[in-house]
Structure 1
């Protein structure tokens, strides 16, 4: 499986002619959706979903499927399928399990919206949460910044998930210095193999 990192929280998974994209938001590149046959959306915030890009991709490929939680699926309409925490389904030929359920809190109970994490054949994208799934994770996509985010909690999250490897996502708000700082802490304290994938760069997963 090939994993490609696009802007902010967006990643693309490819295996042969199967292409699955997670969270193509307003901070990600349009090319991330080129040739995609399925899209997973963790939650409604525009850094995780760009409706205009998604509509354009659906117009180019009417067979494109979108999977997200019920209320957002209803808003998106045709082509969107509702999934819930605990559901296991197939998207672009990949086996996907939805987990979690709520966005991490920033303060005073906000933003108080749904958030699904997705486990895709051993790759875990948690969206905006530090939810720890109850099954093994080979590759963890760990959020690196956000108004709800604390570095220590990110490190504890990686330790709790105990993946074979981890790569950062959700990092558009970090300067180069901020990225280097986050990477240094995760490399030293994360207790797993950790590396940064450059924007547009790819890694081949075992």
Structure 2
């Protein structure tokens, strides 16, 4: 299994040539890939999905299935969304997916809290979307958000310590300057190592799992 990190929240997981696209939003380059069997959308915020991104992916991969929580289905009425929530599981191609969590982290009391459901891929790779969901099962690889309006570094550190992954790589970084990214990933490294390892992926780089 190989995961390629694109800009911000978007990731592409590849198993034997079949691809899973996660959270293709408006901070990400056009996701111009084929052999996509499924798209996972953790929530409907535009940095995680846009109609244009999703339309482009589905036009090149008309058989791909779209998974997301109820809020995604309501926000994207022109698309067929298989609604998932905490405890749901789905299998498509070589991917066994389990879904964890129900709500987005609080941004501010004035901002509505929306649906958010993280995804575990093949029992190994967990991505929580915009949440601090602890899935309740061992996590080998964690895609760890490091920058967001809802994210406080101390809380991110506690979250990663609670997960205790064997490996992690940072995502959701577009809101950070280069200096801020270095600071946040430094704190992330403190929580992952020495028991595990942190891999810094630039957009377009891949990690073999």
Q: 2:54 maps to what in 1?
A: 54
Question: Aligned in 2, Cα 1:79/1:108: closer, same or farther, shift over 3 Å?
Answer: closer
Larger mean CA deviation between 154-163 and 87-96 belongs to 87-96
**Native 8 Å contact 2:166 2:197 kept in 1:** yes
Superposition TM-score, scaled by structure 2 size: 0.92
Distance 1:140 1:119 in 2: 9
Is 1:4 the counterpart of 2:8? The answer is: no
RMSD: 1.6
Q: When the two structures are aligned, how many residues end up with a matched partner?
A: 205
Return 5+ residue gaps in structure 2 as ranges: none
Return 5+ residue gaps in structure 1 as ranges: none
Question: Aligned in 2, Cα 1:92/1:33: closer, same or farther, shift over 3 Å?
Answer: farther
Q: Give the C-alpha shift of residue 78 in structure 1.
A: 4.6
Q: 1:42 maps to what in 2?
A: 42
**Native 8 Å contact 1:20 1:92 kept in 2:** no
SS at match of 2:59: helix
Is 1:195 the counterpart of 2:191? The answer is: no
Deviation string 1:21-46 (CA, Å, 9 cap, x unpaired) is 11000111213544322100000100
Out of 156, 162, 167, the residue aligned to residue 154 of structure 1 is 156
Distance 2:138 2:32 in 1: 27
Question: Aligned in 2, Cα 1:184/1:94: closer, same or farther, shift over 3 Å?
Answer: same
Q: 2:137 maps to what in 1?
A: 135
Distance 1:173 1:106 in 2: 14
